[in-house]
């Protein structure tokens, strides 16, 4: 007796993306006709193919290069047309507000003067770039590429977890995962109307043309990468190929008379738009970190002179800050006079006395995060903390309340996932990719990351995360 | 939009081609030595291969004697030896990784799989009985690369620099092969014309895949002068120095005129001079004034051409190109 894929699958009380979705019925029926053994075989050959194709992120140690693949789970994550429309309008609303916020804080600063967002939260933020003050950007678009992290709670409500408005990565996996599914599971996809995702590169280059400096007929676009040693190099290759543009490193570019050029076989050649996959700090040693070897001296001069478009713009990091996140509903209401379509995780801003009191009263139930830190540092998870840890957290909160926010623990939704030959529930999130030139377009679906360890909520690739193909069923 | 190629990419594609060509030539030399070049006492001369690559100092620092086993190890699987096959393919793959936006996916996948296969070889895979099969796998993998490239690589500037690299490397390899064999074989005047001597010269031709072509032209006899003349000057033999130099000259002229590149005139003039020389000299004249000296001067000219290409197209300064040619030899 050979069990089929979903036999005995139990989501253990979590919201299940597969079982709770009406849009997944056809897929569920097909999966129940497929044996676990067959699923395992196809999954193994798909992952081997990723390795041979070099769809990897690279880890360098000593003289050796280690190529790792982002483990690919072959059971897709399904979104209905209605769910997708909700996400699409919600993300578009959010990005519109973020771009208005950035234009405002680098110009008149109305939102600060009106007291909606505390002034020091913005102007004192280490990602606020005073050198951006007064620069007018085409279409006032600062965030051209955004990867919004979204989770779903136990009721199935979508919540925004984070706005990645600097240099979000992962879109190459979205497209490669789909290619892999088309090859490994043509039968699963038969006659299911999926929203296509092939045109990301074309959409991206159109948006980049839209933000090119004025008066340039056929702008030259390049993708600036830190180089082959960067762990996301495959994605840089992917995007350069999809757009048909040169993939350059800092050493290929130079600035002369506030204009950017690249070194070619025929001499110097003008560059008008740079999709940069390098953080602000490393972009221009004249303007930011002086010892950066990755950047191009003088880039900011060319940018300020209006001879260059950068995507994303410099200084967007202030908008995806954890504390600014908490103000996002108010920012949306302020600029758009609309209610936020997508909720954020309920966030208590401890600089506000009522929120501080609530946080101190419910410390054992809440997650407390410092606003300035990234990568999960300094977080206290109430339900898992010892009494002593809670007391230490209380002391820190009282000493410097403005440095903290608190949030409830979210019971993330799960999706059936092949783990060690069994199908088990695993927590997932979703990162849709939005492209904005003169308007916003969102790649249908996005990257579904899955925490492969039992019980783990961490979906990051560096911590045992994998990914799934995300289907928006038409 | 004008057609542009990053200088750094031109450099990478040039060297990608050179490293694969180098690996193929080395596999040919090792293969032929393994199979055909036994002397009349049944011994094989492996030291000549070490001399061919100017590797004696590094080789003897880690090996006592140039045995079949130690030389094959050193040149096939020793990743610490920069002139080994596995190193050449590693360099080719690193260049290919950089060039992934430019080259076809098939080119990358084949080099990636080829390198992973070479890197997994151990000393046990180099047992005498396995060698012939292993060398043909390596040769075929290099030729597969060439074929995939021919069939899938977009014919823009990169294609020209790829081919220029391949032919320059091939010309260089042929001069080295001829130099060391001629150098080693000629002093034993007593052996000239003897069966051993003939088998050595035949081995030389086989290593360059020129044995049958040579037979079609010189069916009656194998003489050192004729073999040297064939490998240096024949215009139809794809591995002859003359043929390779002519191809490089043609490709450089084409890429300059088709893609509007104004630089590179020094290299073009150098190639013209070399081509005229190879087209007018007779082998007897070359031998009369010293083959070794002649080959040496060709190698120096090939290095000078690489340097001029590096400055004209690959973004090097005169100083950095000096360092580059020193490290890549």
CATH number of the CATH domain containing A404? 3.30.1490.270
- Both tokens of B306, joined, read 């690489």
- Both tokens of B81, joined, read 């030896």
Give the model confidence (pLDDT) of A160-195 as tens digits.
Answer: 999 999 999 999 999 999 998 988 888 887 778 899
Task: Provide the pairing of β-strand A343-344 with A465-472.
Answer: unpaired
Q: Do B101 and A266 touch (CB under 8 A)?
A: no
Q: Which residues of A touch B103 (CB under 8 A)?
A: none
Nearest alpha carbon to residue A188 among A30, A79, A55: A30
Please count the residue pairs, one from chain A and one from chain B, whose beta carbons lie less than 8 angstroms apart. 66
Task: Kindly tell me the burial class for residue A399, based on how many C-beta atoms sit within 10 Å of its own C-beta (0-12, 13-18, 19 or more).
Answer: exposed
Which pLDDT belongs to residue A285? 96
Task: Provide the pairing of β-strand A422-431 with A447-451.
Answer: antiparallel
- The region of weakest confidence among A90-94, B9-13, B324-328 is B324-328
Specify if A192 maps to a domain: yes
Specify if A464 maps to a domain: yes
Which pLDDT belongs to residue A53? 75
Q: Nearest-CA distance from B109 to chain A in Å?
A: 6
Which pLDDT belongs to residue B189? 45
**CB contact, 8 Å: A221 with chain B?**
no
Query: In sequence order, which residues have a C-beta less than 8 Å from that of residue B326 and are 6 or more positions away?
Result: none
Q: Which residues of A touch B314 (CB under 8 A)?
A: 265
| Across A231-241, average pLDDT | 92
Indicate whether A62 and A172 sit together in one domain.
yes
pLDDT range class, residue A270, cuts 50, 70, 90: very high
Residue B1 predicted with pLDDT over 50: no
Which pLDDT belongs to residue B44? 65
Last residue of a domain, one of A393, A408, A423: A408
B112: nearest CB among A52, A228, A233: A52
> Percent of chain A at pLDDT above 70?
94
Q: Nearest-CA distance from B189 to chain A in Å?
A: 48
> Percent of chain B at pLDDT above 90?
65
- The region of weakest confidence among A39-53, A265-279, B66-80, B306-320 is A39-53
The strand pairing partners of A160, in sequence order, are A150, A344
Last residue of a domain, one of A408, A438, A462: A408
For residue A206, what are the CA distances in angstroms to A273, B236, B315?
12, 50, 31
- Both tokens of A319, joined, read 């908008």
B261: nearest CB among A220, A241, A266: A266
- The region of weakest confidence among A110-119, B184-193, B203-212, B216-225 is B184-193
Which pLDDT belongs to residue B249? 97
- The region of weakest confidence among A140-149, A305-314, A402-411 is A402-411
Q: Distance from first CA to last CA of chain A, Å, rounded?
A: 36
Q: Do B100 and A249 touch (CB under 8 A)?
A: no
**CB contact, 8 Å: A247 with chain B?**
yes
- Both tokens of A101, joined, read 């916020």
Backbone dihedral region of B7: left (phi > 0), alpha (psi from -120 to 50 degrees) or beta?
alpha
**CB contact, 8 Å: A228 with chain B?**
yes
| Across B263-269, average pLDDT | 96
Q: Which residues of B touch A269 (CB under 8 A)?
A: 2, 4
Task: Provide the pairing of β-strand A145-152 with A158-164.
Answer: antiparallel
Which pLDDT belongs to residue B79? 94
| Across B110-138, average pLDDT | 92
Indicate whether A386 and A434 sit together in one domain.
no
Nearest CA in chain A to B100: A237
Q: Which residues of A touch B94 (CB under 8 A)?
A: 228
Indicate whether A351 and A467 sit together in one domain.
no
Query: In sequence order, which residues have a C-beta less than 8 Å from that of residue B55 and are 6 or more positions away?
Result: B74, B81, B83
Which pLDDT belongs to residue A56? 65
Residue B88 predicted with pLDDT over 50: yes
Nearest CA in chain A to B3: A266
Q: Which residues of B touch A228 (CB under 8 A)?
A: 94, 97-98
Which pLDDT belongs to residue A462? 59
Q: Nearest-CA distance from B113 to chain A in Å?
A: 7
A264: nearest CB among B4, B105, B112: B4
Residues 17-76 of A with CB under 8 A from B: 52-54
Query: In sequence order, which residues have a C-beta less than 8 Å from that of residue B103 and are 6 or more positions away?
Result: B13, B96, B149, B153, B158
> Percent of chain A at pLDDT above 90?
71
pLDDT range class, residue A460, cuts 50, 70, 90: low
| Across B65-87, average pLDDT | 93
Q: Which residues of B touch A267 (CB under 8 A)?
A: 262-263
Give me the half-sphere count of Cα atoms (radius 13 Å) on the Cβ side of residue B275. Answer: 17
Q: Do A262 and B4 touch (CB under 8 A)?
A: yes
pLDDT range class, residue A59, cuts 50, 70, 90: low
Answer for the pair A268, A261: CB distance below 8 angstroms, yes or no.
yes
pLDDT range class, residue A381, cuts 50, 70, 90: confident
Mean pLDDT of chain A: 91
Specify if A162 maps to a domain: no
| Across A30-41, average pLDDT | 90
Q: Which of B6, B81, B164 to mutate to test the interface with A (most CBs of A within 10 A)?
A: B6
**CB contact, 8 Å: A270 with chain B?**
no
Instruction: Give the span between the Cα atoms of B293 and B278, in whole angstroms.
Output: 15
Q: Do B98 and A220 touch (CB under 8 A)?
A: no
Nearest alpha carbon to residue A81 among A120, A11, A23, A142: A23
**What are the residue ranges spanned by the domains of chain B?**
1-154, 155-329
Answer for the pair A412, A427: CB distance below 8 angstroms, yes or no.
yes
Q: What is the count of structural domains for chain A?
A: 2
pLDDT range class, residue A464, cuts 50, 70, 90: low
Helix-, strand-, coil-residue percentages of chain B, each rounded to 5:
75, 0, 25
- Both tokens of A256, joined, read 């002369």
Q: Which of A265, A269, A272 to mutate to test the interface with B (most CBs of B within 10 A)?
A: A265
Indicate whether A432 and A448 sit together in one domain.
yes
A246: nearest CB among B6, B100, B105: B6
Which pLDDT belongs to residue B274? 96
**CB contact, 8 Å: A251 with chain B?**
yes
Q: Which residues of B touch A232 (CB under 8 A)?
A: none
Instruction: Give the span between the Cα atoms of B186 and B65, in whole angstroms.
Output: 23
Q: Do A52 and B97 touch (CB under 8 A)?
A: no
Specify if A377 maps to a domain: yes
Give the model confidence (pLDDT) of A71-121 as tens digits.
Answer: 889 999 999 999 999 999 999 999 999 999 999 999 999 999 999 999 989
Q: Which of B5, B7, B154 to mutate to test the interface with A (most CBs of A within 10 A)?
A: B7
Answer for the pair A180, A191: CB distance below 8 angstroms, yes or no.
no
Instruction: Give the span between the Cα atoms of A80 and A21, in whole angstroms.
Output: 7
Residue with tokens 């050179």: B18
Task: Write the DSSP assignment of A159-193 as a string of letters.
Answer: EEEEEE-SS---HHHHHHHHHHHHHH-HHHHTT--
Specify if A258 maps to a domain: no
Per DSSP, chain A holds a count of helices (H) and strands (E) of 15, 23
- The region of weakest confidence among A24-33, A367-376, A422-431, B144-153 is A367-376
Residue span of the structural domain in which A67 resides: 22-83+167-196+413-472
**CB contact, 8 Å: A240 with chain B?**
yes
């Amino acid at each position: 007796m050979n069990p089929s894929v979903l036999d005995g699958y139990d989501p253990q009380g979590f919201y299940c993306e597969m079982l709770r979705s009406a849009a997944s019925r056809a897929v569920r029926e097909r999966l129940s006709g497929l044996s676990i053994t067959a699923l395992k075989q196809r999954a193994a050959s798909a992952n081997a193919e990723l390795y041979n194709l070099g769809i990897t992120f690279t880890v360098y140690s000593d003289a050796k290069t280690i190529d790792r693949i982002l483990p690919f789970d072959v059971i897709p994550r399904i979104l209905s047309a209605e769910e997708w429309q909700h996400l699409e309008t919600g993300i578009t609303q959010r990005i519109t507000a973020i771009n208005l916020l950035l234009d405002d804080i680098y110009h008149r600063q109305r939102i600060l003067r009106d007291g909606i967002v505390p002034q020091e939260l913005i102007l004192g933020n280490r990602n606020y770039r005073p050198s951006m003050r007064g620069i007018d950007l085409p279409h006032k678009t600062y965030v051209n590429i955004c990867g919004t992290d979204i989770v779903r709670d136990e009721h199935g409500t979508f919540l925004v977890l984070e706005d990645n408005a600097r240099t979000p990565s992962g879109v190459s996996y979205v497209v490669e995962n789909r290619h892999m599914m088309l090859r490994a599971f043509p039968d699963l996809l038969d006659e299911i109307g999926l929203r296509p995702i092939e045109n990301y590169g074309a959409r991206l280059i159109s948006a980049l043309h839209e933000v090119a400096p004025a008066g340039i007929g056929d702008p030259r676009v390049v993708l600036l990468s830190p180089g082959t040693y960067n762990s996301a190099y495959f994605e840089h290759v992917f995007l350069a190929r999809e757009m048909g543009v040169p993939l350059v490193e800092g050493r290929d570019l130079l600035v002369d008379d506030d204009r950017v050029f690249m070194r070619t076989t025929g001499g110097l050649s003008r560059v008008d738009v740079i999709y940069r996959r390098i953080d602000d700090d490393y972009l221009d040693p004249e303007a930011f970190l002086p010892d950066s070897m990755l950047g191009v001296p003088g880039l900011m001069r060319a940018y300020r002179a209006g001879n260059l478009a950068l995507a994303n713009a410099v200084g967007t990091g202030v908008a995806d800050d954890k504390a600014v996140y908490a103000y996002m509903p108010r920012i949306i209401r302020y600029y758009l006079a609309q209610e936020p379509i997508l909720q954020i995780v309920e966030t208590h801003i401890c600089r506000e006395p009522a929120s501080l009191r609530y946080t101190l009263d419910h410390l054992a139930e809440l997650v407390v995060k410092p606003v300035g830190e990234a990568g999960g540092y300094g977080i206290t998870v109430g339900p898992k903390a010892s009494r002593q840890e809670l007391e230490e957290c209380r002391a820190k909160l009282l000493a410097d309340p403005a440095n903290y926010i608190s949030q409830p623990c979210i019971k993330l939704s799960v999706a059936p996932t092949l783990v060690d030959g069994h199908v088990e529930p695993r927590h997932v999130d979703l990162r849709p990719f939005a492209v904005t030139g003169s308007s916003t377009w969102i790649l249908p679906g996005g990257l579904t990351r899955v925490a492969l360890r039992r019980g783990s909520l961490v979906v990051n690739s560096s911590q045992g995360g994998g990914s799934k193909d995300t289907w928006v069923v038409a | 939009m004008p057609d542009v190629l990053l200088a750094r990419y031109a450099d990478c594609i040039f060297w990608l081609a050179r490293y694969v060509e180098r690996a193929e030539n080395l596999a040919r030399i090792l293969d032929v030595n393994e199979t055909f070049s036994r002397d009349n006492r049944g011994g094989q001369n492996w030291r000549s291969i070490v001399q061919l690559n100017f590797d004696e100092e590094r080789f003897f620092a880690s090996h006592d004697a140039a045995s079949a086993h130690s030389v094959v190890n050193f040149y096939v699987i020793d990743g610490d030896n920069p002139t080994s096959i596995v190193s050449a393919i590693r360099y080719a793959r690193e260049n290919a990784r950089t060039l992934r936006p430019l080259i076809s996916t098939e080119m990358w996948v084949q080099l990636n799989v080829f390198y992973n296969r070479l890197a997994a070889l151990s000393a046990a895979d180099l047992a005498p009985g396995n060698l012939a099969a292993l060398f043909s796998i390596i040769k075929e993998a290099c030729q597969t690369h060439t074929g995939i490239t021919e069939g899938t690589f977009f014919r823009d500037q990169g294609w020209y620099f790829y081919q220029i690299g391949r032919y320059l490397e091939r010309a260089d390899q042929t001069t080295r092969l001829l130099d060391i064999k001629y150098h080693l074989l000629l002093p034993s005047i007593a052996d000239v014309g003897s069966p051993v001597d003939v088998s050595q010269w035949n081995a030389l031709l086989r290593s360059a895949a020129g044995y049958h072509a040579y037979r079609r032209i010189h069916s009656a006899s194998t003489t050192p002068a004729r073999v040297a003349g064939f490998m240096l000057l024949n215009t139809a033999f794809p591995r002859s120095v003359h043929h390779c130099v002519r191809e490089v000259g043609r490709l450089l002229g084409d890429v300059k005129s088709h893609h509007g590149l104004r630089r590179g005139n020094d290299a073009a003039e150098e190639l013209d001079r070399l081509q005229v020389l190879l087209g007018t000299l007779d082998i007897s004249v070359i031998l009369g004034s010293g083959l070794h000296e002649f080959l040496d001067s060709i190698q120096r000219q090939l290095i000078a051409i690489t340097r001029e290409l590096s400055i004209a197209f690959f973004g090097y300064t005169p100083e950095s190109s000096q360092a580059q040619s020193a490290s890549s030899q």
